[in-house]
Amino acid sequence: MEAERKLWFSMWFLASIATFGVAFFPMFYRLIENRNKHFRREAKLESQIVEFLRAQGKEPPATMRSPRDMNAKALTASIILLIPAFIVVYYLSRDLRGHEEHQDAFLASVFPERRFMPQTIPIRKYVLITIVTLGVGGIYWLYKITNMYNAHFKAQWEIEKEVVKLMEERKIDESV
C-alpha cells in the first residue's frame, strides 16, 4: 500500500498567502486524504497481526473500528465558509488522538514486552488559542496538526518495522 506523503505546512502556507488563500484548498485536501490512507493502512496492519495471532492459536485482542473516511472533496470545498475549516481541524485532531490511543492499546496487548508511545494533542488548548485570537490561532493549530500527522506517519514506519521484527522473533521462538 502506498505510504502517506509528508505535507510541508510552510510551503502551503506561503502559497496560500501568495494566492490569497486559494492554496489552502489543496492543502486541506491532501491532509484529509493522507489521514484516510493512513487509517486504511493501519486497519490492514491490524488485520495482519490478528491473522498472525490466530495462526499461533492465540485469541487476538478486541479492536475498535477505525474512524470512517472523511469526504476530502466535500470538506475541502466547505472551508470556503471558514468555520468548517476549524471543524475539520478539530476532527483531524480528535481522530489522530483517538487513533494513537487505540494503536497504543492494541499493540501493547499484542506485544506486552514493547510499549509504543502516542503523541498528546491538547485540543482544548488549541481551541482556546483559536477563540482568544479570533481565529488566527487556527493557523497555529493547523501547523501543529500537520506536524503531528507527519510525525505519526514517520513513527508508523518504525512501528511497522518493529512489529514485523517482533512477529519474526515469535515465530523463531515457537519453532525452537
- pLDDT (tens digit per residue) in 85-142: 889 999 999 999 888 888 888 888 888 877 667 777 789 999 999 999 988 899 999 9
Cα distances (Å, whole numbers) of residue 116 to 14, 40, 89, 160: 35, 19, 25, 11
Give the closest residue to 62 by CA, choosing from 102, 114, 15, 99.
Answer: 102
Question: Quick one: pLDDT at residue 175?
Answer: 66
Question: Quick one: pLDDT at residue 64?
Answer: 67
Question: Quick one: pLDDT at residue 14?
Answer: 92
Give the closest residue to 6 by CA, choosing from 157, 127, 171, 132.
Answer: 157
- Round to whole Å and give the CA distance between 93 and 13: 19
pTM of the full structure: 0.83
Question: Quick one: pLDDT at residue 50?
Answer: 87
Centre a 10 Å sphere on the Cβ of residue 132 and count the other Cβ atoms it contains.
10
Question: Quick one: pLDDT at residue 37?
Answer: 92
Average pLDDT over residues 12-36: 92
Question: Quick one: pLDDT at residue 103?
Answer: 86
Using one digit for the tens of pLDDT, what is the confidence trace for 37-73?
999 988 888 888 888 888 888 888 877 677 889 999 9
Cell for 140? 497555529
Give the closest residue to 153 by CA, choosing from 27, 26, 36, 28.
Answer: 36
In the predicted model, is pLDDT for residue 160 greater than 70? yes
In the predicted model, is pLDDT for residue 176 greater than 60? no
Question: Quick one: pLDDT at residue 159?
Answer: 84
Question: Quick one: pLDDT at residue 23?
Answer: 92
